[in-house]
């Protein structure tokens, strides 16, 4: 039976701050004899699904959470006091309700509370508290801030508010990070715990996997803040203790308060949320009243379209192909998908927005061609429908549709109006540190002259997704420089530890449509 679980962990999706790669977290937990681990990135849940899947591979229980930012007053109030613009708080999903409340809070942090960071406030925290476990967080937590200013009455007031909202699911978080301020705060929190009967929980606020990764993490922070390692005022962690520590290390440090260790396992036992995969869920498309079903409406559109594309008397080959496709579409539950995509493409064409002929496997559907989703005749070009939809391979279909760049916003607005602005969201995309760019970043942070760094970077072959290991194999000149020159070797070794990590998030040129009343969604590209 494991005796400790990490409940405060930052992955690479705490952008340019966390350095634990999601694929490595469950492996490390397994190595250390733990059977569960949490993910609590700063203000976001970008890594939740991939974290869940990676944990499943390793037989590790995933705990989905977030370290949210809390506004000191209202989330709508854009504070001018930068030093008090937000506090930290750890939230962990116990169940489906907790997960849904957590994603609601994180979303509201962006849509309503964004000011430097995506912030929530106590009003919505209380409203969406069901199914969540709350930990008081690091030194940037509101209780700890009060303690550090010697305002114990305020710290007590904050703790009691959270205890009232979360009940037995609220914990005072003590940490083992080697900071003098943390040692003092821990003692105050222990006393507060006993006075208010609020349980303690031990964490380590892990930002990197192993202790030896702390230097690379300092480099990462410099990349984030635009500083150099020689800058005396650069952002830095004062110790090298912010890693995934062993249960033995945590037990040894907190040997005088074993209940703080025991509570990590109790919390992990409480958290039992799991994603559901492999179930196709689509929004409802409202068909005209005269049609008894969605299928009958799509059938009418397809029959009319076949005649328009192939004439009043289509060949048996065409009719058989259309009938076959319709059976598959109905069987796999994608009638609404065809209707939704047809609808916004039809709208775009009706107001003169240029629409591409269609790309990818969707061009193999004669029904898509018949109703105008695509403009490529699959019969003429011998395109296979099975590459798009195949009952033997259950996967969500994906029509790639190009719209006029200047007017695609009108199509997006149409989808938002039809399904509701609050049920339509844009999809995120991440810029990552490629082999060349990470060399330039590391070289700048180490204060290596630009011409030297540029020379090294340009030796990396200009190939998509090439890694530094591959570059060293492919380019003999780079490998020789790496073996002979200490500066080059140092830059590349550090860069290897950082390459591929996300460095920024932006909006993908597509839209995600969410239907009210269920967790149903559809992804449709409106531009590539």
Evaluate whether the domain defined by 434-500 bears CATH number 1.10.10.1600: yes
Q: What is the pTM of this model?
A: 0.89
Per-residue pLDDT of the chain (528 residues; tens, 9 = 90+): 458 999 999 999 999 999 999 999 999 999 999 999 999 999 999 999 999 999 999 999 999 999 999 999 999 998 767 667 899 999 999 999 999 999 999 999 999 999 999 999 999 999 999 999 999 999 999 999 999 999 999 999 999 999 999 999 999 999 999 999 999 999 999 999 999 999 999 999 999 999 999 999 999 999 999 999 999 999 999 999 999 999 999 999 999 999 999 999 999 999 999 998 877 677 788 999 999 999 999 999 999 999 999 999 999 999 999 999 999 999 988 999 999 999 999 999 999 999 999 888 999 999 999 999 999 999 999 999 999 998 887 778 888 889 888 898 899 899 999 988 877 777 889 999 999 999 999 999 999 999 999 999 999 999 989 999 999 999 999 999 999 999 999 999 999 999 999 999 888 766 444 433 333 333 333 333
Fold exhibited by the domain 25-270: TIM Barrel (3.20.20)
Beta carbons of 171 and 230 less than 8 angstroms apart: no
3-state secondary structure (DSSP) of residue 275: coil
Q: Provide the H-helix boundaries in 149-257.
A: 152-166, 180-196, 214-225, 247-253
CA distance 461 to 473: 10
Region label for 59, one of left (φ > 0), alpha (ψ between -120 and 50) or beta (otherwise) = left
Residues of the chain with CATH 3.20.20.140: 25-270
Region label for 20, one of left (φ > 0), alpha (ψ between -120 and 50) or beta (otherwise) = beta
CA distance 171 to 201: 6
Q: How far is CA 427 from CA 128, 285, 305, in A?
A: 24, 21, 32
CA distance 45 to 118: 12
CA distance 195 to 217: 38
CA distance 137 to 371: 55
Confidence at residue 423, expressed as pLDDT on a 0 to 100 scale: 75
Q: Report the Cα 149 to chain-centroid distance in Å.
A: 35
Q: Provide the H-helix boundaries in 8-68.
A: 25-31, 48-58
Confidence at residue 83, expressed as pLDDT on a 0 to 100 scale: 62
Confidence at residue 280, expressed as pLDDT on a 0 to 100 scale: 67
- Counting every residue, how long is the chain? 528
3-state secondary structure (DSSP) of residue 150: coil
Residue 204 buriedness (CB in 10 A; 0-12 / 13-18 / 19+) = buried
Question: Terminal CA-to-CA distance of the chain, rounded, Å?
Answer: 50
Collect all residues with Cβ–Cβ distance below 8 Å to 256 and sequence separation of at least 6: none
Residue 477 buriedness (CB in 10 A; 0-12 / 13-18 / 19+) = exposed
Collect all residues with Cβ–Cβ distance below 8 Å to 164 and sequence separation of at least 6: none
Token reading at 427: 């999809």
Single out the residue of 181, 202, 239 nearest to residue 90, CA to CA. Answer: 202
CA distance 413 to 488: 50
Confidence at residue 2, expressed as pLDDT on a 0 to 100 scale: 58
3-state secondary structure (DSSP) of residue 507: strand
CA distance 95 to 463: 44
Token reading at 460: 């990396």
Token pair 């952002």 in the structure block, residue: 235
Residues of the chain with CATH 1.10.10.1600: 434-500
Confidence at residue 512, expressed as pLDDT on a 0 to 100 scale: 45
């Amino acid at each position: 039976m494991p005796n400790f679980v990490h409940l405060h962990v930052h992955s690479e999706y705490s952008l340019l701050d966390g350095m634990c790669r999601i694929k490595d977290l469950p492996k490390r937990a397994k190595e250390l004899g733990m059977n569960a681990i949490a993910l609590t990135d700063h203000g976001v849940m970008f890594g939740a699904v991939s974290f869940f899947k990676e944990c499943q591979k390793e037989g590790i229980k995933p705990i989905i959470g977030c370290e949210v930012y809390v506004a000191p007053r209202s989330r709508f109030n854009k504070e001018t006091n930068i030093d008090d613009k937000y506090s930290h708080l750890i939230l962990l999903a116990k169940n489906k309700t907790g997960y849904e409340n957590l994603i609601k809070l994180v979303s509201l942090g962006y849509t309503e509370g964004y000011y430097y960071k995506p912030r929530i406030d106590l009003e919505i925290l209380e409203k969406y508290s069901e199914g969540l476990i709350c930990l008081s967080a690091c030194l940037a937590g509101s209780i700890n801030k009060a303690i550090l200013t010697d305002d114990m009455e305020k710290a007590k007031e904050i703790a009691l508010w959270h205890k009232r909202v979360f009940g037995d699911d609220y914990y005072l978080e003590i940490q083992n990070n080697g900071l003098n301020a943390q040692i003092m705060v821990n003692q105050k929190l222990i006393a507060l715990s006993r006075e208010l009967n609020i349980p303690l929980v031990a964490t380590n606020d892990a930002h990197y996997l192993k202790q030896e990764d702390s230097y690379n993490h300092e480099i990462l922070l410099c990349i984030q803040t635009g500083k150099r390692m020689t800058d005396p005022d650069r952002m830095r962690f004062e110790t090298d203790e912010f890693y995934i520590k062993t249960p033995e290390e945590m037990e040894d440090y907190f040997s005088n308060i074993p209940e703080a260790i025991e509570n990590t396992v109790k919390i992990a036992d409480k958290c039992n949320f799991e994603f559901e995969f492999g179930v196709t869920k689509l929004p409802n498309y409202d068909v005209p009243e005269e049609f008894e079903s969605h299928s009958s409406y799509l059938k009418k559109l397809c029959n009319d379209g076949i005649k328009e594309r192939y004439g009043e008397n289509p060949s048996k080959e065409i009719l058989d192909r259309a009938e076959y496709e319709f059976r598959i579409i109905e069987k796999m539950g994608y009638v609404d998908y065809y209707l939704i995509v047809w609808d916004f493409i039809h709208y775009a064409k009706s107001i003169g927005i240029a629409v591409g002929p269609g790309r990818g496997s969707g061009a193999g559907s004669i029904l898509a061609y018949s109703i105008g989703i695509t403009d490529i005749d699959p019969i003429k070009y011998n395109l296979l429908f099975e590459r798009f939809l195949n009952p033997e391979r259950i996967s969500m279909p994906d029509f790639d549709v190009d719209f006029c760049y200047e007017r695609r916003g009108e199509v997006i607005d149409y989808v938002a109006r039809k399904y509701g602005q609050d049920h339509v969201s844009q999809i995120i995309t991440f810029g990552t540190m490629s082999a060349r760019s990470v060399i330039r970043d590391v070289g700048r942070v180490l204060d290596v002259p630009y011409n030297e760094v540029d020379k090294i970077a340009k030796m990396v072959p200009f190939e998509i997704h090439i890694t530094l290991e591959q570059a060293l194999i492919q380019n003999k000149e780079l490998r020789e420089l790496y073996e002979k020159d200490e500066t080059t070797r140092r830059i590349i070794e550090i860069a290897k530890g950082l390459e591929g990590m996300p460095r920024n998030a932006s909006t993908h040129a597509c839209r995600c449509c969410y239907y009210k009343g269920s967790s149903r969604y559809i992804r449709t590209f409106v531009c590539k």
